[in-house]
Amino acid sequence: MLELRNVSKMVGGEYHIRPTDLTLRHGTLNVLLGPTLSGKTSLMRLMAGLDKPTSGAIFFDGEDVTGVPVQKRNIAMVYQQFINYPALTVYENIASPMRIAGKDAATLDREVRKAADLLRLTPYLDRTPLNLSGGQQQRTALARALVKNANLVLLDEPLANLDYKLREELREELPKIFAASGAIFVYATTEPSEALLLGGNTATLSEGRVTQFSETIRVYREPIDLITARTFSDPPLNTIDLIRSGDRFLLDERIAIPVPEHLQGIPEGPVTVAIQPHHLLLAPDNGATTRLSARTLVSEIAGSESFIHLDFAGARWVMLTSGIQNIDPDQPIDVHIDTSHLMAFDQQTGRSLALARQE
């Protein structure tokens, strides 16, 4: 078990990591989700022992390892920018941590070839890294981390440089590998969709602060505050400030959204209402939808999906919808909102009103 107890990191008088408590258990996959410069890499470096915390302590299986250098820990780390030994073949790059550990030849060969097969590297085992593509070099670094049999594996956006097809395949395979290893895996990403695909647990980060840590699907469905909800939304979360009055969220006589059943218990008064882009629809469905009037700003076609940017009562919203939807700018449009997925937050604190009601 890896425990961070009130751990912080300051550089030049500024927090890179604000005081953080976090507990990660063996055999778990833990995603660090946040935008660039939110603190993901800084937190990983503290976990690895590459940096020493400004305050707090780090424990591994009950032992205080604060300040213990990375060389004295059984840790594997893979960065977005791959690191390989240029003079060694792919085979020897993968095998290097097992040679250092003194593994016998049969075990070493079996594990190298198993990892190479998983990461589609078998045809390249006799090549050196300079004769590989960037994606093949990243896969080599990832394979080396997997065979090390480390008790803590840190993956800092490891799939970012891979092609789409391989990235999707590995996103499916990696959770199975993680579950079978018994190690603690920490996986950093900027992509909410990647966190959902990987599953496990997710810690959302914003400006060096862990805003929430729980099962990935729970953080996505029940964000504790508006910052977390925004962190877990791509395209950006749609929000608007309204007034809860009776059974409606009101802006003026033109805007009235029914309060859904799951939000019936929140207090009357000002509220920030939020909805994910894929819960806006071009046509009503059989669920709890409400029609709203908006104006098209621009349409973006991305293969089988379209992003429709909207002006809704002065708020800039985006709808993510399937198919090719080429709607001219400045056109009136009816938008159907799936109210069963509405979220509500306190306008002053940003805290979830639905979760506050349950506490």
| pLDDT tens, per residue, the chain with 359 residues | 999 999 999 999 899 999 999 999 998 999 999 999 999 999 999 999 999 999 999 999 999 999 888 888 889 888 877 778 899 999 999 999 899 888 999 999 999 998 898 888 999 999 998 898 877 888 898 888 888 888 899 999 888 777 777 777 777 777 777 776 778 999 999 999 999 988 899 999 999 999 999 999 999 999 999 999 999 999 999 999 999 999 999 987 678 899 999 999 999 999 999 999 999 998 887 666 888 899 999 999 887 889 999 999 989 999 998 888 888 899 999 999 989 999 999 999 999 998 865 55
CA atoms within 13 Å, Cβ hemisphere of 96: 18
Entry pTM = 0.88
pLDDT at residue 287, rounded to an integer = 66
Helix, strand, or coil here: 276? coil
CATH topology assigned to domain 235-358: OB fold (Dihydrolipoamide Acetyltransferase, E2P) (2.40.50)
pLDDT at residue 357, rounded to an integer = 59
pLDDT at residue 358, rounded to an integer = 58
Pair 312, 262: CB distance under 8 Å: no
Pair 207, 194: CB distance under 8 Å: no
Q: Which two tokens stand for residue 118?
A: 């998983």
pLDDT at residue 288, rounded to an integer = 67
Ranges of each domain in the chain: 2-230, 235-358
pLDDT at residue 79, rounded to an integer = 80
Residue 169 Cα to chain centre, angstroms: 18
- Say whether domain 2-230 belongs to CATH 3.40.50.300: yes
Report CA torsion sign: 23, 28, 33, 36: positive
N-term to C-term CA, the chain:
28
DSSP-assigned states of every residue in 138-179: HHHHHHHHHHT--SEEEEESTTTTS-HHHHHHHHHHHHHHHH
pLDDT at residue 274, rounded to an integer = 96
pLDDT at residue 356, rounded to an integer = 67
pLDDT at residue 327, rounded to an integer = 85
Run of H or E residues at 229: helix 226-231
pLDDT at residue 82, rounded to an integer = 72
